[in-house]
Structures are given as C-alpha cells and as structure tokens.
Amino acid sequence: MTRARTLNVVGLAVLVVLLLAFPYLGTSGYQVSLASTVLIAAILASTVNFLAGDGGMGSLGHGAIAAAAAYGAGWSSLQGHSIGLQVVFAMGTGIVVTIAYGLLSMRTNGIYFLMVTLAVGMVVYGLAYRLSSVTRGENGITGIQRPAAFDEPWAYYLFVVVSFLAVTAALWVVSRSPFGAGLRGIRDSESRMRSLGYYVPAFKFVAFMISGTVASYAGLLSVWHTHFVSPSSAEVHRSVLLFVMVILGGLGTTLGPLVGATIVVLVENVLSNSVERWPTVLGVIFVLAILFARSGLVGGAQQLLARWRRGRHDPRPLAEASTADATASGPNPSA
C-alpha cells in the first residue's frame, strides 16, 4: 500500500512544515506562546500515551514528575547556577522521582497502579508546599531564565517544535522496537509473557523510566516557557487533564496527544475567554469522545480512512485498529 504510505509521509511533512512556519504566518506573540503551551502539553501527554497505550499502565502522576523537574530547575536557578547545571538538576530531580514511582508501582497494575501514581503525585504536591526553604512553598519560584539563544518567543517556539518532533520520533521508535512489542505483550497478558520467559517487572520499570525521563524534559520546557513554577503544577487536576488529552486524541496513536493537547489547551485558554462554563464543555467533549470516538479523534480518523480505502467493513477490533502502522496483532488489511 505505497499510496497510503506516501499519503502518511506527505501528511506528516505538511504538519511539520506548518508547525515550523507558524510564527511566520502573521501570528502574534501571544498566539506563538499559546502554540508553545500546546506543544509542551503534547509532549507530556505523549509520555502518558506511551505508558498507557503500549504499557497498559494508566498514570495520574506524570504532572507531578514534570513539576519535580521544574522545581529542580527552579531551585537551581535560585542558587545562581548556570543554565547547563540547571538542566542537570531538572532532569536529575525528575528522574529520581520517576525511579520512586517505578519502584513503588512495579508490583501493581490496573486501578492499583493508578492509585499509586495518584498518591505519589499528592506526596510531590505536599513536598512542594512543605519544603518551602527549597521550593518557596505556595508562592512558587519566579524569574527562572531559559538559555539566551531562545529568549524570543518565536525562537523558543521553534526549539519546542524540534523537541516535540524529536520526542514523538523517539517514542515512536521505542514503540516499534522489540522492547515495545514486548511491552504490548505484557499489556495484553502478563502471565503469557512470563511463561515465555520475559522478566515482566524489568520491562515495566524501563517503560516507566523512559516515560518519566521524557516527562522530566517536558517539565523543564514548561518552566522555561513560563519562567515560573508553583505547587499547582503538581496537582492531580493537571495529570487528569493529561489523560483527557490522550483519550481525546486517541490512546496509542502517534499524533493523538498533539490533537488532544490542542483541544484541551484551547478550551482552557481560548474558549474560557467567551464561555464561562468551559469546564462543563470540556467534560462534555470528553464524555462524547469516550462514547462515540473511543479511539479518539486521531484513531477515529484513521479508522475512517482505512474504511474508505478498503471500501468494506473493518473486521478488526476498534482498539487495535487505532494504530497507524500494522502491529503484531490483528489481521493485515493491505491488499
């Protein structure tokens, strides 16, 4: 199906060009800055998407991991460290928190996993409040600077675009690798994989580490974007919204997080300008997505495309039809 392949490549290329060209299309600084917000959220949502989609582990704690990394950068900037050292502290803090998550959650799955991530998230939030000598407590830390090369919003935006593309590509590569296949096997049936000789906890831990490391990077990007971090970044609500983004876009799809992030960020920031009951709107959109577009907008679009291309009813189960490329599961639809 080279025509489909070409279409995919062209589509992606167009997307990349659009993303890169955004600041040049007559948009204001505010809009560029909003676009950066969307992309950073999309990066963070991709980490949740990777862990939940391929790993079957739904986490409500990624907001806290990103916040921990943000605090690492913030504290480091208060000490007057160089930007390079700030990056080290940010990634270091995020990774340490990720390890804590990983160790605590390795033995759990499903709803229990969700609860552990929720609890650790609340602990991070509590620490952000209580350790005020380090975190400045509720007031948060302001004045965090990003590298001088990216000072202008359009320059930073381009850096964020490149980061987003790199992260998306990297996660895609991991997902298509044998590791990714093993992870999906574990998602589908842990006992089967164990009987095949896979050491399951190691897979899950590594998956969490990958996801958490990228989430830490997202936290760094976020604090460079707003020059600011406060405990509210670690709130459960932020992590719930990440999940909403993933589902709206399509769990397990490559571009789903971007679509989901766009919708949520736009509702929060733009729709709220004119509609007072925007949280209700967001909730309704979410409910409708679960009911009618279970594989999200991207997943649903892919199914429609697949159906149109083949001109017959898609026999594969909906959840598995949502991935862009053929995976190991399900019959192959190509002629």
Partner 1 sequence: MFEPVFLAQQALNGLSFGALLFLLASGLTLVFGLQRIVNLAHGAFYMLGGYVGIIVATTTGNLALAALVSMIAVGVTALVVELGLLRFVRGQEMPEVLLTIGVMFVVADLCLAIFGGDPKTLPASASIPGALQVGDLTYPWYRIFVIAVAIVVGVALALVQSKTRVGAVVRAGVDDREIISAMGVNISWVFTGMFVVGAALAGLGGTIGSGVLSVRPGIQNDVLLYALVVIIIGGLGSIKGAAVGAVLIGVIDAFAKAWIPEFAYFTIFAPMALVLVFRPTGLFGRTA
Partner 2 sequence: MKSTTTSAPRRRGALAALGAVAALALAACAPASSSDPTTPAPEPSQGETSSQGAEEPSGDGGTLKVGYISPITGNFAIAGQEMVDGWNLYWEINGTEAGGVTVETIVEDDAGNPELSLTKARKLVESDGVDVVVGPLLANTALATAAYTSSVGIPNLHPVAAADDLTQREANDLTLRTGSMSGSQMNYPGGQWAAEEGHKTAVTLCPDYAFGWESCAGFKQGFEANGGEVTSQIWYPNGTSDFATYVSQIQAAGADIAFVVTAGGAPGPDFLRSFMGLGLTDSQELLMNCCAMDQATLRALGDEVLGFKSISYWAEGRESPVVTEFNEAYGERFEGKIPSANVAGGYMTASLVAKVLEANGLVTGADLVTAIGDVSFDDSVLGAVSWDEFNNTVGSVYIREVQERDGKLYNVPIKEYPAVDQWLGLDPTESMARETYSQSFQG
Site residues (vs partner 2, CB under 8 A): 1-2, 5, 8-9, 12-13, 16-17, 20, 23-24, 26-34, 37, 126, 129-130, 132-133, 136-140, 142-143, 151-155, 158, 162, 165, 169, 176, 222, 226-228, 230-233, 268-269, 272-273, 276-279, 325-326, 332, 334
d(CA 174, CA 180): 6
Whichever of 35 and 246 has its CB closer to partner 1, that residue is: 246
274 makes contact, choosing from partner 2, partner 1, none, with CB < 5 to 8 Å by partner type, with none
- Give residues 25-84 in contact with partner 1 (rule: CB under 8 A): 58
294 makes contact, choosing from partner 1, partner 2, none, with CB < 5 to 8 Å by partner type, with partner 1
DSSP-derived secondary structure for 221-289: HHHHHHSEE-GGGGSHHHHHHHHHHHHHH-TT-SSHHHHHHHHHHHIIIIIHHH-TTHHHHHHHHHHHH
Q: Tell me the one-letter amino acid at 316.
A: R
**CA dihedral (315, 317, 322, 325) positive or negative:** negative
Whichever of 291 and 328 has its CB closer to partner 2, that residue is: 328
Among 4, 123, 266, 306, binds partner 1 (CB under 8 A): 123
Least distance to partner 2, CB of residue 184, Å: 14
Q: Is residue 192 within the footprint of partner 1 (CB under 8 A)?
A: no
Least distance to partner 1, CB of residue 129, Å: 7
The CB density around residue 17, as the number of other CB atoms within 10 Å, is 10
Q: Which residues of 239-277 are buried (b: 16+ CB within 10 A; e: fewer)?
A: bebbbbbbbbbbbbbbbbbbbbbbbbbebeeeeeeeeee
With the CA atoms of 201, 207, 209 and 212 taken in that order, what torsion angle do they form, in degrees rounded to the nearest 10? -130
Closest alpha carbon to 252 in 113, 49, 87, 14: 49
Q: Is residue 200 within the footprint of partner 1 (CB under 8 A)?
A: no
Closest alpha carbon to 259 in 271, 268, 250: 250
Chain Cα centroid distance, residue 274: 28
Q: Is residue 315 within the footprint of partner 1 (CB under 8 A)?
A: no
329 makes contact, choosing from partner 1, partner 2, none, with CB < 5 to 8 Å by partner type, with none
At residue 229, φ and ψ (nearest 5 deg) are: -145, 140
Helix (H, G, I), strand (E, B) or coil at 1: coil
Among 30, 132, 166, 283, binds partner 1 (CB under 8 A): 283
Task: Report whether 216 contacts 91 (CB < 8 A).
Answer: yes
Least distance to partner 2, CB of residue 276, Å: 7
d(CA 314, CA 316): 6
Least distance to partner 1, CB of residue 105, Å: 9
Whichever of 98 and 233 has its CB closer to partner 2, that residue is: 233
Q: Is residue 133 within the footprint of partner 1 (CB under 8 A)?
A: no
Task: Report whether 88 contacts 214 (CB < 8 A).
Answer: no
Whichever of 58 and 300 has its CB closer to partner 1, that residue is: 58
Whichever of 103 and 173 has its CB closer to partner 2, that residue is: 173
- Give residues 241-270 in contact with partner 1 (rule: CB under 8 A): 243-244, 247, 251
Q: Tell me the one-letter amino acid at 168.
A: T
Q: Is residue 104 within the footprint of partner 1 (CB under 8 A)?
A: yes
Whichever of 191 and 332 has its CB closer to partner 2, that residue is: 332
Q: Is residue 176 within the footprint of partner 1 (CB under 8 A)?
A: no
140 makes contact, choosing from partner 2, partner 1, none, with CB < 5 to 8 Å by partner type, with partner 2
